[in-house]
Amino acid sequence: MFTEKFQAWVRASAQRLVRTLPIHKVNPNALTLAGLVITCIAAVLIGSGFLLAGGIVLLLAAAFDILDGAVARATNHVRKYGAFLDSTTDRYAESATYLALLTYFLFQHAPPLICLMVMVSLEGSLLVSYVRARAQSLGFACEGGLFARPERVILTVIGLVIPYTLVAVVVLLAIATNVTAIQRILIVWKQDRAHLVPEKDQ
């Protein structure tokens, strides 16, 4: 994942930005849904073969994904439902993006293996998020891993704006997302094992 310092910098920058905007009447959930709509527009562009435009629009959608949380904190509208909605729409957004990539490769008559890599990337991305959510519901801490959502989005955008890298990006995502899911499974396993180790006599 990105370093904690970088994540903190992104959050702080978003907080500074929202302070300069008339956001008091802005509903954070509306920003979350707007981000999903923008991602779907990006998906249509990608599936239609407009990769550069799709990458730029996808980057814009990522900005909304950052701003919704910043607005929620700035307006004191941090709610559990907001976090739930954000996580749910993120899964829809990722699915739309990967299905758009699959559509693009199918229209380009790409080798079946590349299309398979897209689906493996989608599977890995969903598993990364599911493992974390399931672990947290059981009381485990499940941060870390190689490719969290920010890394996946940025790498996808790079593949779209530099099209000759797109196949390599898809292959990397297929590998890295599943490695990340396995890393998180191991993180939870180690925590569970730690609870099973009997305490030594004092």
Q: How many CA atoms lie within 13 A of 73 on its CB side?
A: 12
Instruction: Name residue 126's amino acid.
Output: L
Measured between alpha carbons, how far is 160 from 103 in angstroms, rounded to an integer?
14
> What's the CA gap between 134 and 167, in Å, rounded?
31
Side chain identity, residue 175? I
Is 90 a known active-site residue?
yes
Q: What is the identity of the amino acid at 3?
A: T
Of the listed 65, 68, 86, 90, which one is catalytic?
A: 90
CA distance 149 to 98: 13
Number of other CB atoms surrounding residue 103 within 10 Å: 18
Separation CA 68–CA 82 (nearest Å): 9
Q: Which residues are catalytic?
A: 90
